[in-house]
Structure 1
Amino acid sequence: MVNNNQQASWQDLPVRIVSAVIIVPVALICIVWGEWYYIGMISIISIVMVYEWENLFKISYKNFKGCLFLFWPVIAYCAALEGMWTQSLYIILGFAFIFGPQLWLGSVIIGGAGLSLLWLRFMTGFQTWMIIWIVSVVIASDSCAYLVGKLVGGPKLIPSVSPGKTWSGAIGGLIGAGCVGACIIGYLNQGIEHSYLIGCVLSVLIGIMAQIGDLLESKLKRILGVKDSGKIIPGHGGVLDRCDALLTVSILVALLTFFLPSEIEGVKWNGGLLANNQLIFNIKPNIPLYLFK
């Protein structure tokens, strides 16, 4: 028999499903169509996350500093889309110090992830599939961790950080991430047998990073004494709550695509071009130039 606590733990599942049914198709359309649809989605999500970040630290967006920081990541994105990737990194990593350490950290995490997602969509070999892969792995990790954790239960993972997470959920999330990622990477490499193994290993790594991102945000909220970063997404809380795993994952994968050579058999990142081109930070994304006129 299911006790009251277990029943209560499942009460948010229908709301989470409805939210996913609405959000996932819209996001998928923007990812596939690319161009301004994708750029606009990344920009809007970044602005909302920055707004939530300011609220976490009780910093008002109504003064000049708060208002400027609200659009700070988008300024960096504009530089990147004009081919000035080095300058965009300066904006995110360096110049954001003018806002103080709390907002600088938000700039690094949110702005860095946004730049990474633009890089992955427009500057890597697989483009659309690159984003579909990491998003699918993150969703699989999160969903499987949630379901396995609720069904199996067991010892808590790090109760001082996130009381609801269990070891069974964490393992289930990694298995789900590995299986989904292996299928996608295997498909993209035309069914080469060992590409499934490579895809599984990389996807488990992504799953680990996703869980780390989730735990880091949970730790931050616990330090600040808040439950959710916002209330915009029913069943999930804020956009930061929903995208915490994707923030860390996108940065990690962007670094992998920059340094991993494409000569590795079974992995077609187009990494050789990215790693060896000395002018890499002065080239524009592979999208129509009229977007920048």
Structure 2
Amino acid sequence: MSDPTGTFVWYELMTSDPAAALAFYGSVVGWTTSGMPMPGKPDETYTMLHAGDRPVAGLMALPEDVASQGGRPGWIGYVVVEDVDRAAEKLAAAGGTVHRQPADIPGVGRFAVVADPAGAVFCPFRGAPEMSEGPAPAPMGTPGHVGWHELMGGEVDDSLAFYGGLLGWTKEHDMDMGPMGAYRLFAGPDGQMIGGMMRRPSEVPQSFWLYYFNVPAMDAAIEKVKAGGGQVINGPMEVPGGSTIIQALDPQGAMFALVAPPAQGSGAQ
């Protein structure tokens, strides 16, 4: 089935130490791996990260030119658009920034690297025709898949207006976070919940997207994060619905998050 416009379909980690990152996420999230030649660069390998038999993300070395300009290890998400070139033009006209002009990935699709007006980076993407059919989305909460997408950016009204105009996202409802303002839940054009967005606190140096990977049990995952050289920077905390989350850094400094279902017998509804 084709993924609808406005859907996150891929996640990619650029890291300073691919081998160490593979070992870390394999332990914490449970991913297995496979390698494929980089399109147009047969001597370089792109690592696919699998949840069961499904590829869900990719991993590659942080390019030297990116590192030399101050780029740091981090995750980036790919979002389906109807036309990558038109999306890049529309984004720039709405105050966003095109960091990498639209380009083809042979046999995969077309993408660009962009930032919203507050500076959060993501990739508009359109799959090649031969990639248009795929399996149905995994059930919500499936271990190894991304369970939530969180934007820490500008004012939520401005963020939703931008992404709504570009990707068709709509407001679900707001949660009052006191002095931090509203936490706005949003859905795609198909009505499916995608994630939440909030205003970036002044102490956070830049806006960004944060991706929450599903794990079956949080206590065990936290132990693996620490044993693997990662750092829990917030949590664990229970969120509405009873799930537990943490935000963390991997050993190379890339930020990620985990979400686990309510523990059996916890009484959460």
Q: Which has the larger radius of gyration?
A: 1
Does TM, normalized by the shorter one, top 0.5? no
Question: What TM-score do the two structures reach when normalised by structure 1?
Answer: 0.25
Which structure shows the bigger proportion of residues in helix conformation? 1
With a CA cutoff of 8 Å and minimum separation of 6, indicate the structure with the bigger relative contact order. Answer: 1
Which structure shows the bigger proportion of residues in strand conformation? 2
